[in-house]
A = this chain, B = another copy of it.
Amino acid sequence: MATLDPHGDVVDLAVALCDIPSVSHDEQTLADAVEAALRSLTHLRVTRDGNTVVARTDLGRSERVVLAGHLDTVPLTDPPNLPVRRVDGLLVGRGTTDMKGGVAVQLALAAQLPQPTRDVSYVFYDCEEIEDEHNGLKRLARTHPDWLAADFAVLLEPTNGGIEGGCKGTMRFDVSTKGIAAHSARPWNGHNAIHDAQDILARLAAYEPQTVRVDGLDYHEALNAVRIAGGIAGNVIPDRCTVTVNYRFAPHRSTDDALAHVQSVFPGYHLEVGDLAAGARPGLDRPAAQAFVTALDLPVVAKEGWTDVARFSELGVPAVNFGPGDPNLAHTDDERCPQAQVTQAYGALRRWLV
């Protein structure tokens, strides 16, 4: 079994976490290693649900906070961008930014801070990078909401070491064209659904996304095709073409409002909605959030990516994003993270909790 040493250097721990590949749905090896490391710590109460592991201090403090992060990554590149390489003070490879640097900070704090000034729940969960239905934190909010109860939550998604408030909502939907199949030598007997998809792509290419200021932070909306598929065989006029679209919307919109908006972009089309999750307003007017910002003394900007802060927001727990790594490098082929950001995030949270 792969082992992790949570008592050592946090950067070494980040490398060790990355070097146990954990593409979504394939997190068991890593979850086992994280659980084993946590169970070796007698000051923590450890529970597990599937490949989601939660460890809690139980010191009777007046406040409880959550430090949360996901264990999974998007697929590796070809050839694989693992094991991690250390280059010029950077960690280079899949997971370094999104988000095993943050997971290393959680795990090191869990081991190295037996007496925090606030009770802490450390949440390590699975399947964040794929369809919403598989999300470990979503599952936990339904099956064990008590494991997530807190006054404040920090999600260690990459923020380049800054504090990012709230998040945009996200929606995925399929929009299709329907044609009539026929032999491609006699296309006049059919109707080409792929050719018709030109209209869908033209609407996407012409779309002008809005920038929306919410509670003082600027959120940039976006509407993008993320998948297209059509065709039956090399000699058949295709009878269907489906475009999967991802809409990222500012947190002033409800999910209903987001739906109405995309329907206005595709009038007359049936939209088959897959994932749909509201964003989270920054929420920095709340006292618990203010205390965190004051303690870290860092600037606050809007979070562009949807993150699970929205799930805490739904449970009534104010939450912010704070973690090492440049979010612009998440999911890219040259994913990398400055080692110093991992160390600094560890240091900042440690200062807040002692």
Copies in the complex: 2
CA distance A241 to B205 in the complex (A): 14
CA distance A188 to B305 in the complex (A): 13
Cβ of A142 < 8 Å from any Cβ of B? Answer: no
Which residues from 312 to 353 on chain A have a C-beta closer than 8 Å to any C-beta of chain B?
A: 327-328, 330-333
Q: Contact check, B226 vs A229: say whether CB atoms are below 8 A apart.
A: no
**In the complex, what's the smallest C-beta–C-beta distance from A273 to chain B, in angstroms?**
13
Residues of B within 8 A of A204 (CB): 192, 194-195, 198
- Comparing A1-9, A110-118, A232-240, the segment that makes contact with chain B is A232-240
Q: Contact check, A330 vs B183: say whether CB atoms are below 8 A apart.
A: yes
Q: Contact check, A205 vs B198: say whether CB atoms are below 8 A apart.
A: yes
Cβ of A46 < 8 Å from any Cβ of B? Answer: no
Q: Contact check, A201 vs B205: say whether CB atoms are below 8 A apart.
A: no
CA distance A304 to B235 in the complex (A): 13
**In the complex, what's the smallest C-beta–C-beta distance from A170 to chain B, in angstroms?**
7
CA distance A246 to B233 in the complex (A): 10
Q: Contact check, A170 vs B185: say whether CB atoms are below 8 A apart.
A: yes
CA distance A119 to B195 in the complex (A): 49
Cβ of A168 < 8 Å from any Cβ of B? Answer: yes
CA distance A182 to B189 in the complex (A): 41
CA distance A108 to B333 in the complex (A): 61
Which residues from 95 to 136 on chain A have a C-beta closer than 8 Å to any C-beta of chain B?
A: 129-131
Which residues from 41 to 100 on chain A have a C-beta closer than 8 Å to any C-beta of chain B?
A: 74-75
Residues of B within 8 A of A226 (CB): 184, 194, 231-238
Residues of B within 8 A of A306 (CB): 185
Cβ of A244 < 8 Å from any Cβ of B? Answer: yes
Cβ of A197 < 8 Å from any Cβ of B? Answer: yes
Residues of B within 8 A of A304 (CB): 185-186
Residues of B within 8 A of A205 (CB): 195-196, 198
Contact with B along A177-220 (1 / 0, CB 8 A): 00001111111110010111110011011000000000000001
Selected from B130, B187, B231, B234, the residue in CB contact (under 8 A) with A228 is: B231
Cβ of A222 < 8 Å from any Cβ of B? Answer: yes
Q: Contact check, B244 vs A234: say whether CB atoms are below 8 A apart.
A: yes
**In the complex, what's the smallest C-beta–C-beta distance from A173 to chain B, in angstroms?**
11
Residues of B within 8 A of A233 (CB): 74-75, 129-130, 226, 331
Selected from B181, B197, B224, B235, the residue in CB contact (under 8 A) with A333 is: B181
CA distance A130 to B233 in the complex (A): 8
Q: Contact check, B327 vs A183: say whether CB atoms are below 8 A apart.
A: yes
Q: List 29 A-B contacts (CB under 8 A).
A: A74-B236, A130-B233, A130-B234, A131-B234, A170-B235, A181-B332, A183-B328, A183-B330, A184-B222, A185-B304, A185-B305, A186-B220, A186-B327, A189-B328, A192-B204, A192-B224, A195-B225, A198-B198, A201-B201, A224-B237, A225-B230, A226-B236, A226-B237, A226-B238, A228-B228, A231-B244, A234-B244, A235-B246, A235-B331
Q: Which 6 pairs between the two chains have the least Cβ-Cβ distance?
A: A227-B231, A198-B201, A185-B305, A194-B225, A195-B205, A184-B246
